[in-house]
Amino acid sequence: MKVGSTHDRPDWFAAFSRAYAGFVIVLSVILMMLIVVIMGVQVFFRYVLNDSLIWAEEICRYLLVLMTFLLVGAAFERGEMVCLHFLTGRLSVRSRLLVLLPMHALMTVFLLTLAWYGIGFASLNSHFTIPAIDFIGTALTGREINLALSMYWMYMLVPVACVILSAHFIFAMIRMVRGLLGLADPEAALPPGHNLIPSDWIR
């Protein structure tokens, strides 16, 4: 599931990877545009009309949370997550793969466990509603309405993001195994962020 990469992949997987990358980019642009527009409208209403929108900041928080959790997989594939290289950076490529493989396996187990308990937590808090949605409906219709959109869907972003990120970890482990078995270039099989280590670090 590497964003934007089609090297050593079947045609169907390359097509899926391109579609996934395109979806992530379009989604991030739409969400960021929504946040900018809503905050711009909020500033206009607050400082020009002196009539603040009660729902604007809450909706922007939800959109930011949505963007953060749904794009976490793309951030991993682009190597934009923090990596500490002061130990693994001094190992050979093969040794690095041997160290990183069990680490990624443990992270996958942790993420799936977090997703499992996250689903339970979302269900436990499903009786809470998102008040901003009701405020928007009231502002648009001119009468008080109660859409009662459950907070369950916001809390479910955490387990969904954990599953997405664990899928990226699984595909990264498959690449590492292929590199260790000689079925792929070992250096290309390194996880994102770990293949950018300066060569003079390696003894």
- Pair 83, 33: CB distance under 8 Å: no
Q: Which of 19-28, 33-42, 139-148, 182-191 has the highest mean pLDDT?
A: 33-42
- Tell which residue, 134, 145, 115, 8, has the closest CA to residue 59: 134
- Treating both helix axes as pointing N-terminal to C-terminal, what angle do 56-70 and 157-180 enclose, rounded to 10 degrees? 20
Out of 89-93, 137-141, 160-164, 185-189, which region has the weakest mean confidence (pLDDT)? 137-141
Average pLDDT over residues 26-30: 89
Using left for φ > 0, alpha for ψ between -120 and 50, and beta otherwise, residue 142 falls in left
Q: What is the pLDDT of residue 110?
A: 96
Average pLDDT over residues 8-13: 62
Q: What pTM, to 2 d.p., does this model score?
A: 0.74
Q: What is the pLDDT of residue 140?
A: 60
Q: What is the pLDDT of residue 9?
A: 55
**Per-residue tokens: 134:** 């009701």
- Pair 57, 171: CB distance under 8 Å: no
51-71 pLDDT per residue, tens:
877 788 888 888 888 888 888
Q: Which residues contact 66 (CB under 8 A, 6 or more apart)?
A: 31, 157
Q: What is the pLDDT of residue 125?
A: 82
pLDDT of 6 over the 50 cut? no
Backbone angles phi, psi at 129, to 5 degrees: -115, 165
**Per-residue tokens: 118:** 């996250």
Average pLDDT over residues 148-167: 86
Q: Is 149 strand, coil or helix?
A: coil
Backbone angles phi, psi at 150, to 5 degrees: -70, 145
**Per-residue tokens: 107:** 């992270």
